[in-house]
Amino acid sequence: QVQLVESGGGLVQAGGSLTLSCTASGRTSSTGVMGWFRQGPGKEREFVALINWSDSSTAYADSVKGRFTISRDGARNLVFLRMSSLKPEDTALYYCAAGRLFTARMRDFDAWGQGTQVTVSS
């Protein structure tokens, strides 16, 4: 069983930057990919970014490409999401997730954190 804990959320003004982190613990040997998803108020949960644990290949949603960067520290089981040029529409509860396959589909992820809130003011 893998446990995930997100941190780093907060309140920022539009145009600002924020970095989220995710710590994985427990049985992490089966984890092939880790990703970030988000759910804004009145919206469905959506894919944000993904990183392959073995080769660091990444994928991003079009809405965040060029503004967000996902990275990892494999030795420490850490995943980061660096966010810049933040917009009010980025306001959401951000979730860290772990799975075995390189995919952006939510149903393919087995473990989820509780989420960390990011609020972007205009």
What are 62-101's pLDDT values in tens digits? 999 999 999 999 888 899 999 999 999 999 999 999 998 8
Q: Does residue 33 sit in helix, strand or coil?
A: strand
Residue 1 in this model has a pLDDT that exceeds 90 = no
Average pLDDT over residues 47-61: 94
Buried b (16+ CB within 10 A) or exposed e, 28-49: beebebbbbbbebeeeebebbb
**Mean of all residue pLDDT scores within the chain:** 94
Task: Please give the structure tokens belonging to residue 81.
Answer: 């999401």
Report how far residue 73's alpha carbon sits from residue 94's, in angstroms, rounded to the nearest whole number.
Answer: 19
User: To which residue do tokens 């907060």 refer?
Assistant: 10
Q: Which pLDDT belongs to residue 103? A: 87
pLDDT above 70 covers a percentage of the chain that reads 100
| Sequence-distant (≥ 6) Cβ neighbours of residue 55 within 8 angstroms | none
